[in-house]
Amino acid sequence: MGKNKKSQATMQDMVCKKNDILTMEIIDLSTKGEGVGRVDGYTLFVKDAVIGDVVRVLVMKTKKHFGYAKLLEIVTPSKDRIEPKCPVARQCGGCQLQHYSYESQIRWKENKVYHCLSRIGGFSEVPMEPILYMDSPYYYRNKAQFPVGTGKEGQIITGFYAGRTHSIVENTNCVIQHPCNEKISKAVLEFMEEYHISAYDEKEHTGLVRHILTRVGVKTGEVMVCLVINGTKLPFTDALVEKLLGLPLQGMEAKKGNVAENESDAANGNGAKNEQATVSALKIESICLNENTDKTNVILGQNISVLYGRDYIEDYIGNIKYQISPLSFFQVNPKQTERLYETALEYADLKGGEVVWDLYCGIGTISLFLAQKAAKVCGVEIVPQAIEDARKNAALNHFDNTEFFVGAAEEVVPEQYEKSNGTLKADVVTIDPPRKGCDERLLETVVQMQPSKIVYVSCDPATLARDARYLCDRGYELKRVRACDMFGQSYHVESVVLLTKKG
């Protein structure tokens, strides 16, 4: 009985309760880009609100120290609020910050990296360098995955999933995807309607076409179209190929875009120029099917059949050429990837005689950048297909100073160290882990290998800060930090840091 009275009292003492309607000012953004406001010290997170907004909200969920609210009305807009280019930006789960000016986005992302390193990592001095921002934060993605489904009126639709759901927000003109995707996705939908090809129903596990996947070689102009199907065959493929090859893609090679206003490239070291990129004319070089008959939300299966051309396209990052299949991991923003990897190469400061270990190497993107100047590069990646691609890419670029290992980095590197009886050394170690960061066993082995430099590329500044703290407590020093905006309009930010061995 006493416990119930205490619970009732706690509810009565709460500043706000579910279904309350409140007006407040947004004073910050959460790590996922939600607006943060406070009511008498109680924190509320509000999706689609930005710093400086005064908003009217409906409280949706409350916890002891914080809650979540729905944006009802913008009473006074922030000076940094802009009108999204995309009419469905608020419903779609792909962009969280399209209503926030790009200048404000990059300031916030830079601060996000700084605060994670100072607060989580406990670094009193964070040697930040100016963020690498994008020339234009639109039409930059070289890969799209459009889910296919059925609309309320029975029509076949494609678009993107609404945030935290698998409900499709209908849209063929995504303003962060390459502009050729609109023509391609519309052509596939027309083909499906004309030949009565069914769309996949995720709940019932019925229907044929699950996703439309596209990849674009931004420098080569090569385009891939891959249909993911719930089966092993697609009828009328000759008609599909003819329709896609007949698309007029000329003039869609690149989009001119201004750099962030009131920012100079010279001042922030971005090196960007307000010019149209030099690329080849767009041409579809690969049309293929990917079979995925599993009842899963994993998009791709393992079997690929070619309808036209080959099962890969080629593109460059810097001077390095890569073959990219539907299953390959390849960074979605090649221009910013080049800037990020050039920064990593600069931080590594290779002189030509170094042995480098590249951990979580993927298809060898960073490995091959480093192989241009290192004596030897050893790459480690858990995905066998990625390592196969890495070896192909090394051969494609005539590198004979690379070696690649299949397996989890936290297992392979300690095993190799133990096999060497503790003699395995590295001059430089590069690390580009998934969002969860590094396993402690791996970091321990890296320290034992005694590299003079560790270059850590991160997609999550919180786990970066944790891992950097671990390394700096064991003989390393945080020397350089630079954020890179790879994903304009989203809350994601990449960063690269240099840690050097003390003494």
Active site residues: 459
Q: What is the DSSP-derived secondary structure letter of residue 198?
A: P
Contact 375, 355 (CB under 8 A): yes
Rounded to 5°, the CA angle 308-312-313 comes to: 100
Beta strands in 382-436 (DSSP E): 402-406, 428-431
Three-state DSSP at 213 gives: strand
Packing angle of the helix pair 237-245, 180-194 (nearest 10 deg): 150
Q: Give Cα separations from 8 to 5, 21, 44, 175, 406 (angstroms).
A: 5, 21, 22, 49, 57
Residue with tokens 């980095």: 409
The C-alpha atoms of residue 69 and residue 438 are separated, in whole angstroms, by 34
The C-alpha atoms of residue 150 and residue 179 are separated, in whole angstroms, by 24
Phi, psi angles (nearest 5°) of residue 19: 80, 0
- What's the chain's length in residues? 503
The C-alpha atoms of residue 159 and residue 429 are separated, in whole angstroms, by 40
Rounded to 5°, the CA angle 314-317-320 comes to: 75
Closest CA to 195 of 220, 227, 221: 227
**CB burial class (10 A; 0-12, 13-18, 19+) of residue 351?**
exposed
Contact 494, 486 (CB under 8 A): yes
Q: What is the greatest pairwise CA distance in the chain?
A: 77
The C-alpha atoms of residue 412 and residue 418 are separated, in whole angstroms, by 10
Signed CA dihedral, 104, 105, 108, 109: sign only: negative
Alpha helix (H) ranges present in 247-333?
265-268
Rounded to 5°, the CA angle 132-137-141 comes to: 100
Closest CA to 282 of 309, 249, 315, 317: 249
Contact 229, 205 (CB under 8 A): no
